[in-house]
Structure 1
Amino acid sequence: MYQDLERCVRAVQSKDARFDGWFFSAVLTTGIYCRPSCPVVPPKPHNMRFFPTAAAAQQAGFRACKRCRPDASPGSPEWDHRADVVARAMRLIGDGTVDREGVSGLAARLGYSPRQLQRHLRDEVGTGPLALARAQRAQTARLLIETTDLALTEVAYAAGFGSVRAFNDVVRTVFATTPRDLRRRARGGAASAGTGTVTLRLPFRRPLCPDNLFGHLVATAVPGVEEWRDGAYRRTLRLPHGSGIVALRPENDHVACDLRLTDLRDLGTAIARSRRLLDLDADPVAVDDLLAADPVLAPLVRAAPGRRVPRAVDAEELAVRAVLGQQVSTAAAATHAGRLAAALGETVEDPDGGLHRLFPSVAALADADPSLLRLPASRVRALQGLVEALAGGTIDLGAGADRAEARSRLHALPGLGPWTVEVIAMRGLGDPDAFLPGDLGVRAAAEHLGLPTTPGALVARAEAWRPWRAYAVQYLWATGDHAVNRLPRTAA
């Protein structure tokens, strides 16, 4: 979109928050870049320049606006709903792959050479993987500076910088101030959290309907791994350098996020996975405009606009839970998953609630005694086949996975039918066009609304809902009286 100059100028002049994260506007006369909704008086159009990412603006020598904080805007929806190599690379960079594995590791995951990947990223997002990762480290550093009492030296290494000097240089370049001054300004606001705990706001594009989003997560919660407490969804996290606990609470204009981490180097990854879980980078206006063009869906969209797709912090965990949920109720599936977590999940300490387990890794599940499952033999075989494929690397469900290839390999596994594969695609892989025509809730909604009820006919009818059929599923599910559609009101 950043190449559509007239549209970008109109968005900046109208301070349209819907475009925050889609592109960034820079001002030649001040050397500052902003989000489109920045409240300052818009510059003259001939002084504006537009960039697809904050990293590209930084690479061009512009500094972040101190008023609108463009680095904290919602991410571009492009990287979630697209399936090409650039989108896959952006998802992996957001998950911290460059910091952990370098550019060569990122390229290897995508099946490209580092030079090829550099060219693809520069052509589309204006800069390469190192600059994108640097921009992410700068944002992580700012969050740690403003929300913790860590010494600035500790902040530098926790944010992923190789030296204190590099940390100071990047903060000065990106934010036009020193780390110490950033902290001093922040202390004029809310009090900081203790070491190891970070409190922040997760922005999103309005509207947001929290009912199905949080209702689904809580209704399917695994005991000991997830819970609803004091108005927040809480769960444990398996992260690259340790474990964590996140609490997510819906507010009017943001999602409040409290993160307790055993290693603060995982902050950026934990934020990215929390945003992915809640589908916070979606563009609800674009989704709802298309779905509301269908006279059958229009009343559902008007009644509760902004429905998101409840996704996952770990696609492998989601895949295992999808198999456990085959042909059983959500409560039964949660019971089976809780039994596995209690037997095979590593323990965590939660001073604030009732969480005490990580969901088991696929390595632990691969070595597990099948008698733990207490499932029909056919489902045990299906689960074992899935776990072996995941543990052996035959199937990749990670942030940079090729969705088409993952679907094909999942379909080839014994015992995984279309429903299971599409649930994994929708919630684990984040495919916005995944569709569940055979799902009982979808079929019941179709009958209630006068839509076709046979899978083939419903798929044909749903062609008009592409590429947002996963969101159409959320609106169809909302016609039923089920806990997944209700925001919990009381503590678990």
Structure 2
Amino acid sequence: MPMNTRALPPEHDTQSIDARGSGASHLDPEHCRVARLARDPRFDGRFFVAVVSTGIYCRPICPAPTPHERNVRYFASALEAATAGFRPCLRCRPDSAPDSPAWRGTDTTLRRALRLIDEGALSTGNMTQLADRLGIGERHLRGLFQRRFGVSPKAYALHRQCLFAKQLLHQTRLPITQIAFASGFGSVRRFNDTFRQRIGLAPRDIRRQQVEPRAPHAMLQLNLSYRPPYAWQVYRDFMSRRYLQGLEWVEENAFGRHFRWGDARGHFTAHHQPQRNAFRVELALDDLRHLAPVVANIRRVLDLDADCDVIEQHLAASQPELPLMTGLRLPGTWSPFEAMIRAVLGQQVSLIAARRLTQTLIDHLGEPAADGGRYFPDAAAIAAHPLEFLRMPGRRRQTLIDVARATLEGNTHFQGVSGIGPWTRDYARLRGDSDPDVWLSGDAGLRRALVKWPQVNAEQAAPWRSYLLMQLWSLDHEAQ
């Protein structure tokens, strides 16, 4: 695996293309020009190229003939390009570009609002309910979006719904009616009108231009892009040491699992395709109304939206003595609840013992899937069982039950649950929330790595301490 400890040359300085605001004026046109002409995939999703003469906006990796610079405008996000009146390119499909963490910003409330909207908060609820979940007023919520993106939260939600629908039109055989509901629209008429207004074409126009082979009805097939590099072997090996029989599967170039999302059930297999800087995801889901948040969660589990160039430049500057492996990602767990249960089962035991305990829990309480696999036990199943089949201290079994009861009561941060210490809470954040700034100071594998690299300064690695942790774990074979 290649090591990378140097910054990019000035003409490819990714930090200079930083969308810290809601307009193209915050982008450096010269750096955008260089990246566009190079068609460098590392910049995919970090900015978008609009062509005035055609009215179309593209990804910087678009294979179409390169337009003259005088006809080009740069935007920090697809939303800004669409708001300015440009429609998405049907060749490079801007809806498939990975999201830019810089565009999403560092405001915690805003990031949480974006995640909830992507999970369908405004498709199944309203602005008042979303503001209540965020603990802020509606006016403040509208102000956050207006200052950051120049649009309302609802306009952002409709934009995301249309881009997701466009992806389904390109990549699946789903009927347009099903795509409308899978994208969060309440009626086909509303879907057609909104899609035509925001994309510039009718859904049927895009379906007619579809020439690629598509997955059969029973199994959806989607291509999920990322910015290279992606250290797949490290991700795969991390998962293979922790995978649970029946729940998950790890292959040479693929990872998959069974999952629940609300009342829906399904399974996916993500096949790594490094030549395309993407994963081909085969997905089965019994309720397509949950498709958009499920796909968003798969992106999180695979950490597809990480900008490794930016992260590794920061780590190289703050930890100059540490050899860095390029493309490391945060291996996610499906939900914060599952991550917390697995973290409690891993308290003060080896990785092998923790895996054995978790397997026992799944074998006893996991609901069987139609294909012979199992789903991770839900909170109701764990809360209602004494868990005597787990060979572990009674106090720890009670912690598992308390975690499940807290989840049923809506206490998803597990405040006040006895038996959850700093390591447990932080490990659950690392895997279940994919928090980029977690530092497991009490972790045994981390302590071993720090003996070899005592000069590491975790505070200087913020806000990317989770990635520094992964770097150190990659240097310690026992921690992997």
In which range does the TM-score fall when normalised by the shorter chain?
0.7 to 0.9
Q: Is the 8 A contact 1:207 1:284 kept in 2?
A: yes
2:326 match: 305
Deviation at 1:55, TM superposition (A): 3.0
| 1:372 correspondence with 2:389 | yes
1:92-107 maps to which residues of 2 (within 5 A)?
92-107=116-131
- Provide, for residues 91-114 of structure 1, a one-character-per-residue CA deviation record: whole Å limited to 9, x for no partner: 111222221223332222101233
Q: Which of 71, 74, 78 is matched with 1:54 structurally?
A: 78
Q: Distance in 2 between matches of 1:423 and 1:108?
A: 28
Aligned positions of 1:249-398 closer than 5 A: 249-252=271-274, 253-293=277-317, 294-297=319-322, 299=323, 301=324, 304-350=325-371, 356-396=373-413
- 2:31 maps to what in 1? 10
Structure 1 residue 43: Cα displacement? 4.7
Match of 1:195 in 2: 217
One-letter code aligned to 1:388: R
* Letter paired with 1:274: I
The aligned residue for residue 213 of structure 1 is: 235
Alpha-carbon distance between aligned partners in 1 of 2:448 and 2:178, rounded to the nearest angstrom: 55
Pairwise CA distance, 1:28: 3.9
In structure 2, the CA distance between the partners of 1:200 and 1:12, relative to structure 1 (3 Å rule), is: farther
Q: TM-score, normalised by structure 1?
A: 0.85
SS at match of 1:292: helix
Q: Secondary structure at the match of 1:364?
A: helix
Cα shift readout 1:430-472 (whole Å, capped 9, x = no counterpart) = 22111112211111111133x17xxxxx7xx322222211111
- How far does residue 168 in structure 1 lie from its aligned partner after superposition? 2.1
Check conservation: 2:236, 2:250, Cα contact below 8 A. Answer: no
Query: Equivalents in 2 of 1:420, 1:7: separation in Å?
Result: 43
SS in 1 for 2:209: helix
Contact conserved, 2:49 with 2:72, CA < 8 A, in 1? no
Please report how far the alpha carbon of residue 236 of structure 1 lies from its aligned counterpart in structure 2 after TM superposition.
Answer: 0.9
**Shift in Å, 1:13:** 4.4
My pick for the range that moved more, 204-213 or 314-323, is 204-213
C-alpha distance in 1, partners of 2:103/2:332?
15
Out of 66, 71, 82, the position equivalent to 1:41 is: 66
**Residues 24 and 240 of structure 1: CA distance in aligned 2, closer, same or farther (over 3 Å):** farther
Q: How does 1:60-209 map to 2 (within 5 A)?
A: 60-78=84-102, 82=106, 84-186=108-210, 188-189=211-212, 191-209=213-231
Pair 62,79 (structure 1): closer, same or farther in 2 beyond 3 Å: closer
Q: Which structure 2 segments of 5+ residues have no match?
A: 1-17
SS of 2:126 mapped into structure 1: helix
1: CA distance, partners of 2:77 / 2:117: 13
Query: Take 1:278 and 1:339, find their aligned partners in 2: how far apart are those partners?
Result: 26
Q: 1:228: which partner in 2?
A: 250
Go from structure 1 to structure 2 and tell me whether the alpha carbon gap of 1:47 and 1:224 turns closer, same or farther (over 3 Å shift).
closer
Change (3 A) 1:377 1:53: same
Contact 2:55 2:85 in 1 (8 A): yes
SS, match of residue 358 in structure 1? coil
Q: Quote the offset at 1:277 in angstroms.
A: 0.5
Say if 1:196 and 1:119 are closer, same or farther in 2 by CA, change over 3 A.
farther
Q: Please give the root-mean-square deviation of Cα atoms over the aligned residues, in Å.
A: 2.4
Higher deviation after alignment, 225-234 or 207-216:
225-234
AA partner of residue 82 (structure 1): T
Displacement of 1:37:
3.5
CA distance in 2, matches of 1:341, 1:8: 53
Percent identity (aligned): 36
Give CA deviations for 1:280-327 in whole Å, capped at 9, x if unaligned.
111101111122232331x2x1xx311011122211111111111112
Among 55, 60, 63, the residue aligned to 1:31: 55
Work out the CA distance in 1 between the residues paired with 2:406 and 2:68. 55
- Against the structure 1 CA distance between its residues 335 and 8, is the aligned structure 2 distance closer, same or farther, given a 3 Å change threshold? farther
Alignment partner of 2:151: what SS? coil
Q: CA deviation at 1:119?
A: 1.6
Give, as a single letter, the amino acid of the residue that structure 2 aligns with 1:345: G
Unaligned regions of 5+ residues in structure 1, if any?
Answer: 397-405, 453-457, 486-492
Decide whether aligned partners of structure 1 residues 319 and 80 sit closer, same or farther in structure 2, where only a CA change above 3 A counts.
farther
1:472 and 2:468 aligned = yes
CA contact (8 A) 2:336 2:429 kept: no
